[in-house]
Amino acid sequence: MINKILYVLGIAALAILVWNIYTIARLPEETRQGEVFKIIFFHVPMAITAMICAAVSLVASVLFLLTRNFKFDALAVAVTEVGLAFLAGNLITGSIWGREIWGIWWAWDARLTSALVCWLLYAGYLMLRRAIEEPTQRATFAAVFSIFAFIDVPIVIFSIKWWRTQHPQPVFWAGGSFPPDWTTHFLWNMLAMALLGAVMMSVRLRQEEAQRELDSLRRMAHAL
């Protein structure tokens, strides 16, 4: 049953995404930046989805340390992996935009650096998991590391306020210049990305739980 729901949701997410690409492509060009401005429809939702993933991973890690329930550990890994993929997409789209507008692929300003560091931290989280064999220890240490890693996330979000960055200021709220009728397209894409992330996370979560079940069965077989 859950499988069918996941299939339906996944197809829905992809359908919305394809429809969005079609409609966004037909929007007029932005006056100053031209066609490449439209990358914002993907760049920003990916960032937001990745940040939500980081937040969920933090909550799951804390809950694991409090309850020692391995479901939360599985949730933390699943959501971290998906978040890492979205953050990678965010960094790549940002880099392409930078090449067009700034003329360079990368600038070492606070926002770009902190986002890259964030990516490295969560990649380190996955590597740490690989280095530990014993499941309880792995889950505990990974949860502790995830809490440490999350402290970088507010820095990523507020870096454009705290420092003067090359990265543009947000254009959506508080006097932003984003055209209101484009906001609908933006929100639809946000929904598509979030839905896609949720589906990927659920699939990964089920794999993780199946893996744990397999491991425990294997241990039981060895004990016998």
Partner 1 sequence: MRFFRQVWVVAAKDLRAEFRTKEAINASFAFALVILLMFSFAFDLPVETTREISGGLLWIVFAFAGTLVLNRSFARELPNDCLDALIAAPISGAALFLGKALANYVLVLAVELVSLPVFSIFNNVSVTAQFWELMLVLALGTWGLTVIGTIFSALTVNIRLREVMLPMLTYPILVPALMGAMQLTSALVAGKPIGADNEAWLKMLIGFDVVYTAVSLVLVETVLVG
State the residues that interact with partner 1 by CB under 8 A: 65, 113-114, 117, 120-121, 124, 127-128, 131-133, 136-137, 140-141, 144-145, 147-149, 151-152, 155, 162-163
Other Cβ atoms closer than 10 A to 200 = 20
- Shortest distance in whole angstroms from residue 78 CB to partner 1: 21
- Shortest distance in whole angstroms from residue 136 CB to partner 1: 7
Per-residue tokens: 72: 């939360």
* CB nearer partner 1, residue 120 or residue 187: 120
Q: Find, among 127, 153, 131, the residue nearest to 52 by Cα.
A: 153
Per-residue tokens: 177: 């210049």
* CB nearer partner 1, residue 41 or residue 64: 64
* CB nearer partner 1, residue 78 or residue 115: 115
- Shortest distance in whole angstroms from residue 140 CB to partner 1: 6
- Cα separation, 18 vs 161, whole angstroms: 34
* CB nearer partner 1, residue 37 or residue 150: 150
Q: Find, among 39, 67, 148, the residue nearest to 75 by Cα.
A: 67
162-198 exposure pattern, b = at least 16 Cβ within 10 A, e = fewer: eeebebeeeeeeeeeeeeeebeebbebbbbbbbbbbb
- Shortest distance in whole angstroms from residue 117 CB to partner 1: 5
- Shortest distance in whole angstroms from residue 65 CB to partner 1: 6
- Shortest distance in whole angstroms from residue 76 CB to partner 1: 15
CB 41 within 8 A of CB 20: yes
- Cα separation, 23 vs 19, whole angstroms: 6
- Cα separation, 42 vs 186, whole angstroms: 8
* CB nearer partner 1, residue 81 or residue 152: 152
* CB nearer partner 1, residue 10 or residue 135: 135
- Shortest distance in whole angstroms from residue 170 CB to partner 1: 20
* CB nearer partner 1, residue 104 or residue 120: 120
Q: Find, among 27, 47, 31, 62, the residue nearest to 111 by Cα.
A: 47
